[in-house]
Structure 1
């Protein structure tokens, strides 16, 4: 009976870990449906800098980044004792905000082709990720470190978004 009780408790911890680690991938999967068509049709028509990563690098990078940020959120959640504990609102709220900004970028950029609006979104996203990391640091340094590659990738992506916006003026409306 004690063994079953211990196994039951261990299984309960697996559910939040797997759920929080998988959560960022939901937006990535939805975004992939939008991106898949546009990468073959609209995106090739844009002027892009020579230093941009190849298209094949993006899904691999995002899979790793989503996994790292998701697991980091689990570590913070676990340290805080859940969502409803005192002190959880700011670090987990900032995480949720950055996730929403992240998920919004693909429909803005690839879905409606609003390059400037996507640039505003990604600048806000990058700042929110930095704020999330600052709020996470006193709670879990490993979680903060897991967000570091994400922040670095966002700096690259922000630069790329800027260059695409700069080099592809939106058509003037009459």
Structure 2
């Protein structure tokens, strides 16, 4: 896995950027929000995201390396660009929600992130069906985050 350093750094940066903004998860503003009953406990988020970031880094590295091994350099570069957009969106959501307090914009950002995650699966599938399958929980979690963000926005308009 020649690309693991690059994908690992990218996902670690997204995790770090998100962690900086999510320090406000214990803010007065956040505590006062009306949250839906399907909101997971706070302890779930760092556990789930650690697993997902690891999954993204490994699955993406496998995909990129496979595409390169197959001499599909254009597809490998396109996957890398799609991954870069994805991790930027991923890190941005936390800032939009926790720092800017823009719950509606956060819901839209989560929806775009979900589409971006599904696009990663689509791009990975021809190169490595197992890597594509491994990305499905990430897209599922992003879809859940979209529903959660949308419901928080709806409850707190």
Matches within 5 A, 1:1-174: 16-81=3-68, 85-169=73-157
* CA displacement at 1:22 relative to structure 2: 4.1
Q: Is the 8 A contact 1:21 1:68 kept in 2?
A: no
Check whether the contact 2:10–2:84 (CA below 8 A) recurs between aligned residues: no
Bigger-Rg structure (1/2)? 1
Deviation larger for 72-81 or 22-31:
22-31
- Structure 2 match to 1:4: none
Contact preservation (8 Å) 2:96, 2:106: yes
Shift of 1:91: 2.3
| Larger relative helix fraction | 2
Aligned length: 155
Structure 1, residues 74-125: CA drift from partner, whole Å, max 9, x if none?
101111228x923223322222211111111011000110111111111111
Summarize deviations over 1:21-61 as a string: whole Å, max 9, x none. Answer: 34212221222122113424321110001111001100110
Unpaired segments ≥5 residues, structure 2: none
How large is the Cα RMSD of the aligned pairs?
1.8
Listed as ranges, the gaps of 5+ residues in structure 1 are 1-12, 170-174
Task: Provide the rounded CA distance (Å) in 2 between the counterparts of 1:19 and 1:90.
Answer: 15
Moved over 6 A (4+): none
Equivalent residue of 1:88, what SS? Answer: helix
